[in-house]
Structure 1
């Protein structure tokens, strides 16, 4: 049985040097718990088979959808259902906690310089 330890989010976020590059901090069933820093705008993408949960730990961001935009502030979260095209955007920057299936690639069906296929554990 694995050892149970607490996770300090401030410590984990302090280890992030790049934006849009998620890192794994835990696993829950077939879900990965990840931290990521947002700055600027991400790529429009969708995930055919995976829902995603974005929780703002610090800052705020806008989840752009094709038909509307949702402002997500510190202490709030948004769940994006599978197959929904979306794009997170922030001008001020944000620290985000993600819950997503272990099969999720951050850019979904899009492959570019922001794609992280195998996120590092920190």
Structure 2
């Protein structure tokens, strides 16, 4: 497991040393090995999606996406991360009277939250 938890969540030794990309590739490879007649090309493409889902070497991806499915997965994951980041920032702003959030160093920008008469983040948030 990449993470350990008791009272807090932390990386396991395996998670810190190998990371979730390598661990996921191994997990999928092991599962595929138990399936008789699993197509080699499909196994290769599936593993490529896992290994390339971060999209760039500088973002920790050992490979860049080279198939349609891999590039789609990368962009969907990136979109999910961006939307979740925006939602967390907007939902946790300290002064809800102001239309702008504090500067976010990770996104390197301020976010516009709108004015009181506009739809609130709670109303527009993801449905679960």
- Give me the TM-score of the superposition, normalised by structure 2: 0.20
- The structure having more radius of gyration, on CA atoms, is 2
- Give me the TM-score of the superposition, normalised by structure 1: 0.21
- Larger % of strand: which? 1
Q: Which has the higher contact order (CA 8 A, sep 6+)?
A: 1
